[in-house]
Amino acid sequence: MLFVQLTLFSWHKIPFVRLLIPFILGVFWALYLPFGFYSCLAGFCVLVIVVLFLLRNKKTHFKFTTQVLVGILFTVCFITIGYLRTYSYNETRQLHHFSDFKKAKYYYITVEDAVIAKEKFYRCYASVNACKDSGGKFNVSQGNLLLYFKKNAVQTKPLVGNTYLISSNIQPILGPANPGEFNYKQYLTYHNIYYQQFTDSANTITLPITKPSVYSWALSLRDASLKIIKQYIPEEKEGGVAQALLLGYKDELDPDIVDAFSRTGTLHVLAVSGLHAGIIYIILSFLTKPLSKYRKGKIIQLVLLIGGIWLYAFVTGLSSSVLRASIMFSTMAIGKSLKYNSNIYNNLFASAFILLIYNPLFIVDVGFQLSYLAVLGIVFIQPLIKNWWLPTNWLTKQIWSLISISFAAQLLTFPIGVFYFHQFPNYFLLSNLLIIPITSIILIGLIALIGLSWIPYVGLILGKCIWVIIWFNNWLVIKIDELPYSYIKGIHFDFFQMILLYALMLFFLAFCIHKYKVLLTLTMLSLLIFSGYYGYTKYSQSQQRIMVAHYIKKHDVFTCLQGHTAYIFADSSFINDKLAIKFYLEPYFWAHGITEVISSDFNKTFIGTNIYYKKNSGLQFFDRIMTIQNNGKLNGIKHQFWYVKHTTKNYFNAIAIPQNNIVWSANIGFNKTVKLEQGLKNKFGPNFKLNKKATVIKF
């Protein structure tokens, strides 16, 4: 209630916030502290009985007490609904999940998502419709898996709706092998994917059955639009941007262009989302505005608005980001048309509630969080900023309005953006001021190209004009990116710091509105806690000593962290591979406050440090020693940790250290890994299992 009062909200005007907040609490409860479906249901029933008993008791028949009890019951009810919806949404907890059929030899699967073509395979999500055991018995099943088709497994690229019979060889998706590495397992879990399978021509049969769906029709419409764009904008860089901007298709985007957009804070224009749906909404509102003057014209206008938004969603292939934006703007359009004084906050919370009922895992989707925070920043903070200056010139008004929108959206997304992406675009105001208007023109042009390309010469003329504008847009983004100090990278906020920063911002904004002393006190207290926690973190990092043996295929990589400096030992090919360092090492370095990185290959060591390396023998960091087993022979180094690079016949018995101190290279082949694990089981017992992850030694 305090938050609502502080921000001029009222429960009466935004009833959906009373549904949304407890529902979200229930979602997080199910995600991070689950204890069972029926236990939660039973606890809720007991609470309902207790509250109903208290309400029937004459002593509690006072207005205030009754309201409190009903409010508690109402809140707990939606917390429970959020919990139960999220708990049951996990497909592995549902009946007849394919993983429950342990004896399954074959799966009947249907491709359910757009297929991504890689160099040697196709990747997609597929649903398992039935399982077949060795005796030929069929079992109806359900569930999705991540499927990799080797290109020799199918004659043509799989399409949504195609069905196949594949041999069962499912594997659980593994978590990250290195500290700080992107957690692809968690990402897929949030998409309800828990298993994966690799299949080739030997265990794949294409079935002559195609299951049409709304999604397959939408993708067909998107593919038709892609062909038009490729025909009239054939250039790779400009065509890739056009495909991403209109359709959200990113397979042909140039990586350098993506990096430039990311560092200038304009990457959102390449991800079809609220910005694009908002532009469509504004265009349609402008074109249909005259209808509002006629009898029942608002209803016709509403139908055209919603129809246009969802037609665009179909053209883009019904991606999750477009679905979110379409539901958001459809809800806002309905609220605006059917209720004269509709509250924009209530419309916003209503759309979020509908989306989370449909898929509660949207709450942990980065795009969902950024979209709603950006819109909330625009509708709440932008009017406050806009009133700082009231220009009289029309052009100045538009420029100031765009600046205030960019600043408001950036302000509310800044903490969570840094939390996820560890960088901040210093020129975001300049880049958004220039890029968003140009992007709007490109988007309108591309819509016209799709709709009018059938007219002779119109497609050629529009395609060439759009190509010129996109070329200029790309050039502008690159030039902004090349400006000095265009962005800051390596910023790291942990979850607690992010929450503190949001508390600081909200208390300060509330103080600017209401001027209450208590709000200023809370602002200063949040600042004090944030500063103290940040200072403590930096001090702890300055004292850190960490040695890491990374688990990276084709490479042996060791890092030593001392204070704010990281030393990398690796082969020269890894040291020169900037993308590999960015993916495997940079996030871990940022999380530990590393400001200086020094690299060396295995032919030399670091002079004047507490690190000593002897080629093919061992690595010592202060008093921690890791013996590197290269040829199966023990050397004279005292070995506290044993790094296994190769397997030999009889070296297992020579290892005289605890099993948890054995580290092995990711370069050991599968067959040798089986041999290695068997040898170690003979030594340490049948429960021994190789830990296929990096080893982190802190001291």
> Residue 670 burial by CB count (10 A; 0-12/13-18/19+): exposed, middle or buried?
exposed
> Residue 212 burial by CB count (10 A; 0-12/13-18/19+): exposed, middle or buried?
exposed
Q: What is the pLDDT of residue 636?
A: 47
What are the pLDDT digits (tens) for 377-394? 888 888 888 888 888 888
What are the pLDDT digits (tens) for 565-598? 999 988 888 998 988 998 999 999 999 999 999 9
d(CA 111, CA 397): 50
For the chain, give the percent of residues with pLDDT over 90: 15
Q: What is the mean pLDDT of residues 233-245?
A: 87
> Residue 303 burial by CB count (10 A; 0-12/13-18/19+): exposed, middle or buried?
middle
Alpha-carbon torsion angle 133, 137, 140, 143, nearest 10: 0
| Residue with the larger pLDDT of the pair 153 and 162 | 162
DSSP 385-442: HHTT----SHHHHHHHHHHHHHHHHHHHHHHHHHHHH-EEETTHHHHHHHHHHHHHHH
DSSP 239-255: HHHHHHHHH---TT--H
Q: What is the pLDDT of residue 630?
A: 58
> Residue 584 burial by CB count (10 A; 0-12/13-18/19+): exposed, middle or buried?
buried
d(CA 448, CA 438): 15
**Phi/psi at 605 (5° precision):** -120, 175
Q: Quick one: CA dihedral 668, 670, 675, 676, positive or negative?
A: positive
Centre a 10 Å sphere on the Cβ of residue 692 and count the other Cβ atoms it contains: 12
pLDDT confidence tier of residue 498, bands split at 50, 70 and 90: very high
Residue type for position 109: I
DSSP 552: B
What proportions of the chain, in percent to the nearest 5, are helix, strand and coil? 55, 15, 30
What are the pLDDT digits (tens) for 539-551? 999 999 999 999 9
What are the pLDDT digits (tens) for 678-697? 777 777 777 777 778 888 98
Centre a 10 Å sphere on the Cβ of residue 693 and count the other Cβ atoms it contains: 18
What are the pLDDT digits (tens) for 402-421? 888 888 888 888 899 889 88
Q: What is the pLDDT of residue 634?
A: 46
Q: What is the pLDDT of residue 8?
A: 44
What are the pLDDT digits (tens) for 203-224? 777 877 777 778 888 888 888 8
Taking Cα atoms as reference points, which of 678, 16, 12 lies closest to residue 353?
A: 16
Domain positions in the chain are 2-89, 98-211, 219-489, 495-541, 545-698
pLDDT confidence tier of residue 648, bands split at 50, 70 and 90: low
pLDDT confidence tier of residue 7, bands split at 50, 70 and 90: very low
d(CA 366, CA 374): 12
Does the pLDDT of residue 632 top 80, yes or no? no
Does the pLDDT of residue 321 top 70, yes or no? yes
Sequence-separated (6 or more) residues with CB below 8 Å from residue 338? 302
Q: What is the mean pLDDT of residues 187-216?
A: 83
Does the pLDDT of residue 638 top 60, yes or no? no
Residue type for position 494: D
Q: What is the pLDDT of residue 639?
A: 58
Average pLDDT in the chain: 82
Fold adopted by 98-211:
OB fold (Dihydrolipoamide Acetyltransferase, E2P) (2.40.50)
pLDDT confidence tier of residue 2, bands split at 50, 70 and 90: very low
Q: Quick one: CA dihedral 538, 540, 545, 547, positive or negative?
A: negative
Q: What is the pLDDT of residue 3?
A: 42
Outline where 169-296 has alpha helix (H). Answer: 184-189, 214-232, 236-247, 255-263, 274-288
Does the pLDDT of residue 524 top 90, yes or no? yes
d(CA 637, CA 27): 53
What are the pLDDT digits (tens) for 87-146? 888 888 888 888 888 888 888 989 888 788 887 888 889 989 888 887 778 888 888 999
Sequence-separated (6 or more) residues with CB below 8 Å from residue 487? 263, 264, 265, 423, 424, 425, 426, 427, 481
Taking Cα atoms as reference points, which of 260, 277, 385 lies closest to residue 321?
A: 277
pLDDT confidence tier of residue 360, bands split at 50, 70 and 90: very high
Does the pLDDT of residue 659 top 80, yes or no? no
Q: What is the pLDDT of residue 563?
A: 93
Q: What is the pLDDT of residue 194?
A: 92
| Residue with the larger pLDDT of the pair 4 and 398 | 398
Q: What is the pLDDT of residue 656?
A: 63
- Are 616 and 571 a contacting pair, CB within 8 Å? no
What are the pLDDT digits (tens) for 418-436? 898 888 888 888 888 888 8
d(CA 256, CA 600): 27
Q: Quick one: CA dihedral 681, 685, 687, 692, positive or negative?
A: negative
> Strand 195-199 vs strand 144-150: parallel, antiparallel, or unpaired?
parallel
Q: What is the pLDDT of residue 617?
A: 77
